C-alpha cells in the first residue's frame, strides 16, 4: 500500500511540474515568457503565417515612381504599398495631341490595388484594383477607374510595369500604360 501511494504521489508531482514548466506555461506564445521552447514556438507561428506584419517591419512591395507611355500620350505613374497586399497606384496621363478645342486631356487616377502573390521567383507581381480619378477636357469630371496589370522587378532599383485602366463614365475610355519605374 505504501509503495502504491508513493508511486502515485511521485507521478502527481511530476505531472504538476510538467504543467507549470515554461514549455507548457504559454503554448500560444502571445505573452512574453522565458525559455528556449517558447522561442521555437514563436518562430513556428511566424513561419505558419508569412503574410503577418509586425510593428516596425518593412512592407514588402517595391514602391516606385516612373515614366510611362500610354495610348493617350505620356504618363507618370507610381506605386506606394499600404500593406503587403494592398497598394495605391497614382498616375497622371496627359494627351500628346490637342482635341478639337485646342485643349489637352489629362487624367489623374488613384486606384487602390490588391497585389497577388509573386510569380517567377518574386519578380512578377500582378495586381487588380479600383479607385477614383479626375479627367479634364471639355469639362472636368470625377471618374471611377478599374485597373489591372503587373510589375516586373529589374534588379534592386528598377521595375517595368504595364496596366489597363478602364474609365466607364462619359467617354468610356480604356488606357493602356507601359513604363519604367525607379524603386525606392
Tens-digit pLDDT profile for residues 78-132: 999 998 889 999 999 998 877 777 778 899 999 999 999 776 667 899 999 999 9
Do 69 and 111 belong to one domain?
yes
Q: Return the DSSP state at 123.
A: T
Whether residue 59 lies inside any domain: the answer is: no
Whether residue 106 lies inside any domain: the answer is: yes
Do 7 and 89 belong to one domain?
no
Whether residue 56 lies inside any domain: the answer is: no
Rounded to whole angstroms, the Cα distance separating 178 from 70 reads: 7
Q: Which residue has the higher pLDDT, 56 or 153?
A: 153
> pLDDT category, 53, cuts 50, 70, 90?
low
Do 84 and 161 belong to one domain?
yes
Q: Which residue has the higher pLDDT, 96 or 49?
A: 96
CATH code of the domain in which 74 resides: 2.40.160.20
Q: In total, how many domains does the chain have?
A: 2
Could you read off the pLDDT of 136-161 as tens digits, one per residue?
877 888 999 999 999 999 988 999 99
- Mapped onto helix, strand or coil, the DSSP state of residue 48 is helix
Alpha carbon distances (Å) from 52 to 43, 45, 125, 182:
12, 10, 19, 27
Amino acid at each position: 500500500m505504501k509503495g502504491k501511494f508513493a508511486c502515485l504521489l511521485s507521478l502527481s508531482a511530476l505531472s504538476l511540474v510538467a504543467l507549470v514548466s515554461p514549455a507548457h506555461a504559454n503554448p500560444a506564445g502571445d505573452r512574453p515568457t522565458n525559455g528556449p521552447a517558447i522561442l521555437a514556438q514563436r518562430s513556428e507561428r511566424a513561419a505558419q503565417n508569412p503574410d503577418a506584419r509586425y510593428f516596425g517591419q518593412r512592407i514588402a512591395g517595391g514602391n516606385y515612381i516612373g515614366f510611362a507611355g500610354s495610348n493617350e500620350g505620356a504618363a507618370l505613374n507610381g506605386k506606394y504599398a499600404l500593406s503587403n497586399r494592398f497598394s495605391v497606384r497614382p498616375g497622371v496621363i496627359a494627351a500628346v495631341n490637342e482635341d478639337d478645342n485646342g485643349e489637352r486631356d489629362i487624367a489623374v487616377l488613384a486606384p487602390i490595388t490588391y497585389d497577388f502573390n509573386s510569380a517567377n521567383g518574386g519578380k512578377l507581381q500582378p495586381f487588380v484594383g479600383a479607385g477614383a480619378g479626375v479627367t479634364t477636357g471639355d469639362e472636368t469630371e470625377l471618374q471611377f477607374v478599374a485597373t489591372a496589370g503587373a510589375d516586373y522587378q529589374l534588379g534592386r532599383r528598377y521595375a517595368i510595369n504595364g496596366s489597363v485602366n478602364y474609365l466607364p463614365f462619359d467617354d468610356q475610355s480604356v488606357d493602356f500604360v507601359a513604363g519604367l519605374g525607379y524603386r525606392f
